[in-house]
Amino acid sequence: MSTEENKALVRKVYDAINANDPDALDGLMAADMDSNTRFAHPDGGLDGFKESFKTALASFPDYSITIDDQIAEGDKVVTRYTASGTQEGDFMGVAPTGERIELVGIDIDQIEDGKIVAHWSEASLEDIMVKLGVAIPR
């Protein structure tokens, strides 16, 4: 696949997230994909990624992502994004606060045979906890 096709594939993942549709990830990600995030589900693979997605939606039902920048080279796509949502469910032991959060993160996705086979994500958990009022900013 070309770098533009790889970027389009990754954008479809963000579209699925914004549509709150974890099942739309089928066919976009390999069943045995390697997910490397703070919020990775212990089961791993696509099913674990989808479970993490469902957990996030339970905490932040209006969760959405805006792609701010996207760069591709070879089989990898780097996406800088802004995510936002309102906490209406428990999040990592924090009862619903009704607070709206916004954070910036960076994802790197590796593509093989038209599917994402590895996903790395960096977003500040500390920023989320500060915005929910349960941590003090540094």
What lies within 8 Å, CB to CB, of 2 at 6+ separation is none
CB 48 within 8 A of CB 136: no
Q: Which residue ranges form the domains of the chain, and what is each CATH number?
A: 3-131 (3.10.450.50)
CB 85 within 8 A of CB 61: yes
Nearest to 76 by CA among 30, 117, 47, 16: 117
List Cα–Cα distances, 137 to 21, 59, 100, 113, 132, in angstroms.
33, 22, 17, 43, 11
Q: Which tokens in the block code for residue 74?
A: 């070879």
Which residue has tokens 């070879």?
A: 74
Structure pTM? Answer: 0.89
Instruction: State CA 75 to chain mean position distance.
Output: 19
Going through 14-94 in order, the beta strands assigned E by DSSP cover: 29-36, 64-73, 76-86
The per-residue pLDDT string of the chain (138 residues; one tens digit each, 9 = 90 and over) reads 899 999 999 999 999 999 999 999 999 999 999 988 766 666 778 988 888 888 889 999 999 999 999 999 999 999 999 999 999 999 888 999 999 999 899 999 999 999 999 999 988 777 788 888 877 776
CB 83 within 8 A of CB 102: yes
